[in-house]
Structure 1
């Protein structure tokens, strides 16, 4: 699957170096775990549909009741249609330069900010709805005015979210300008309870599949395929032992395409079938 460089693929004049950019993203079919290299931090205002994103070490799902602020970097995006036939999401990109200027002007924080999750969930409300309408309105403004208008709209939005979420949001903004790469082991071990493929995990680690496999063996002294299979089966066993879920509820979550393959792998490892765990 090709890697999409966003927002570059949406910008008509590739020679432009934009600090702020708005794009209306629409689609008419589901997209599952597309590879996205996000070149700028981005607000994703989901208006119609459902969205799930995987980043190094974490994942999050939202519907049209919520929006996301996402950190730049490599993501796996799943975007699903809801009852409507068109998925609709307004994207608002901003550069680190613009963010740093905003923080210098408005931030009161003197604390040392630790690394935060790469996303911030925003609950949609009447203000957000009104704000998105205003963004659509200025989309028809002449290009000569657009840069200044977007600068005003960006500051307005950030001030509102600071007022709404307080220190939690302010600390998150500071974390966006902390240059830290997520440790390899943190990313790998966060994918144990997931159905991500090796190629997708390698992408989140900013590695080719062959480089990822070599590095994995150096770190864990075992092939990634075998290591992940064993860890996921162990996690599946622990999940079934709790008694709340059945094998039919979890096999997809642990990377198996069908219940039969999951049952065979489980029995080969533990000597009993998944259903016997709950007998």
Structure 2
């Protein structure tokens, strides 16, 4: 049986380069791709031109054809790209970062709180305006020149403003809840795993992020690398537990994410100037 691999998107389209905050990609296929396991680490507009797209989430699924477009929130999902007859599957994808969406909300929306749970997608009915919009994206290069980056930022703002006008409060609540929910889930997952034995890679997956995206978001939120932050938190906890006198050094290090006693003792002495046994 072949290994069920994860496709990190849009990383796999960018081909090893650092993720930009905005990215346009033309996806063309001549074969069906059924239930691809996807870790989507940026929010994404999918503008389907030919074929059908079906996306499975944890508790729902959606299918669209070229009469509709779809906004998909970042996270884990399964998606199928299906050709109509013998045609080429063609879809234009627009990826945008959390910061870009947050900035748009700050500039254009007064209401920023909504506690309702939301679907992981928002279906958009295509119209003439969106057709003209997609044509305009064809003229934007994917290079990293300042002009193109600024122009694409304006095109994202244009799209979001249009959808606000078209769908009103429904779309407004969706994007506000999306931001709040993602931030809450990110912080909550980190706080719940401070003293667990999970690796940073494992915590990143629980946050539905690639490791590189997790590290960028972590530094933006906590102003320090995740490795250093978790290490300090866990060593502080170890010191607290050992000072109480109820536990041995050997009872502490495994529960705080260290695989062996020497590495724990070395990290402890580097931070506090004494070994764990001396503290006891």
Pair in the same fold by TM > 0.5: yes
1:10 is matched with 13
Does the aligned pair in 1 maintain the 2:113–2:176 contact within 8 Å? no
Structure 1: 5+ residue runs without aligned partners? 184-202, 207-279
Find 1:59's aligned residue among 48, 61, 74.
61
Does the aligned pair in 2 maintain the 1:113–1:171 contact within 8 Å? no
Cα displacement (A) at 1:18: 1.2
Q: CA RMSD in A?
A: 2.5
Cα displacement (A) at 1:112: 2.7
1:81 is matched with 83
Cα displacement (A) at 1:27: 0.3
Does the aligned pair in 2 maintain the 1:55–1:204 contact within 8 Å? no
Alignment partners' CA distance in 2, 1:98 and 1:140 = 17
Compared CA separation, residues 133 and 118, structure 1 to 2 (3 A): same
Alignment of 1:173 with 2:162, yes or no, is no
> Which one is further off, 103-112 or 91-100?
103-112
Query: Secondary structure at 2:47's aligned position in 1?
Result: strand
Over 6 Å off, 4+ runs: 203-206
Query: Secondary structure at 2:170's aligned position in 1?
Result: helix
Compared CA separation, residues 142 and 174, structure 1 to 2 (3 A): closer
Matches of residues 29-68 of structure 1 in structure 2 within 5 Å? Answer: 29-68=31-70
1:265 is matched with none
Alignment partners' CA distance in 1, 2:82 and 2:136 = 26
Deviations 1:47-104 (A, max 9, x none): 1000100112110011110010001000100110013520000000011100000000
Does the aligned pair in 2 maintain the 1:71–1:118 contact within 8 Å? yes
Cα displacement (A) at 1:143: 2.7
Does the aligned pair in 1 maintain the 2:24–2:92 contact within 8 Å? yes
Alignment partners' CA distance in 2, 1:204 and 1:131 = 35
Alignment partners' CA distance in 1, 2:54 and 2:156 = 25
Does the aligned pair in 2 maintain the 1:113–1:174 contact within 8 Å? no
Q: Which has the larger radius of gyration?
A: 2
Compared CA separation, residues 59 and 137, structure 1 to 2 (3 A): same
Q: TM-score, normalised by structure 2?
A: 0.62
Cα displacement (A) at 1:142: 7.0
Alignment partners' CA distance in 1, 2:124 and 2:49 = 13
Alignment partners' CA distance in 2, 1:205 and 1:94 = 18
Structure 2: 5+ residue runs without aligned partners? 186-204, 209-280
Alignment partners' CA distance in 2, 1:111 and 1:205 = 21
Aligned residues: 186
Cα displacement (A) at 1:205: 11
Compared CA separation, residues 90 and 180, structure 1 to 2 (3 A): closer
Alignment partners' CA distance in 2, 1:142 and 1:96 = 19
2:251 is matched with none
Query: Secondary structure at 1:138's aligned position in 2?
Result: coil
Matches of residues 129-144 of structure 1 in structure 2 within 5 Å? Answer: 129-139=131-141, 143-144=145-146
Does the aligned pair in 1 maintain the 2:83–2:89 contact within 8 Å? yes
Alignment of 1:159 with 2:161, yes or no, is yes
Alignment partners' CA distance in 1, 2:207 and 2:107 = 34
Cα displacement (A) at 1:140: 6.9
